């Protein structure tokens, strides 16, 4: 048997349950995913994904004033008027933006 050590972490219950439901669907155990993460940390000599603040602040609907809400709706309407994209076009744009 391989030499193993335990890793203990306290995380939000809902976060844990949601993540483990996805891992279960993928057929991957939490222990396996932690092993994969640690392996990637060693291979990349760092965290294997970007950790950064979003380009624009994330705002909840409840935090908007009526004027801000109306402005956001107007932006959405204008965007919809400017053209409609197919799913393939959206995928290509997202791929270009996030995998460049």
- The CATH code for residues 1-52 is 1.10.1220.10
CA 74 centroid distance within chain: 27
The pTM for the full model equals 0.52
pLDDT in tens, 36-71: 999 999 999 999 998 887 777 777 888 888 998 899
Domain ranges in the chain are: 1-52, 61-98
Poorest-pLDDT segment among 5-9, 22-26, 81-85? 81-85
């Amino acid at each position: 048997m391989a030499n193993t050590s335990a890793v203990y972490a306290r995380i939000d219950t809902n976060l844990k349950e949601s993540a483990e439901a996805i891992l279960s669907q993928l057929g991957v155990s939490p222990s396996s995913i932690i092993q994969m993460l640690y392996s990637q940390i060693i291979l990349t000599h760092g965290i294997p994904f970007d950790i950064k603040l979003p380009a624009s602040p994330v705002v909840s609907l409840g935090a908007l004033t009526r004027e801000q809400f109306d402005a956001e709706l107007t932006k959405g309407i204008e965007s919809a008027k400017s053209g409609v994209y197919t799913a393939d076009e959206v995928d290509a744009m997202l791929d270009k933006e996030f995998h460049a």
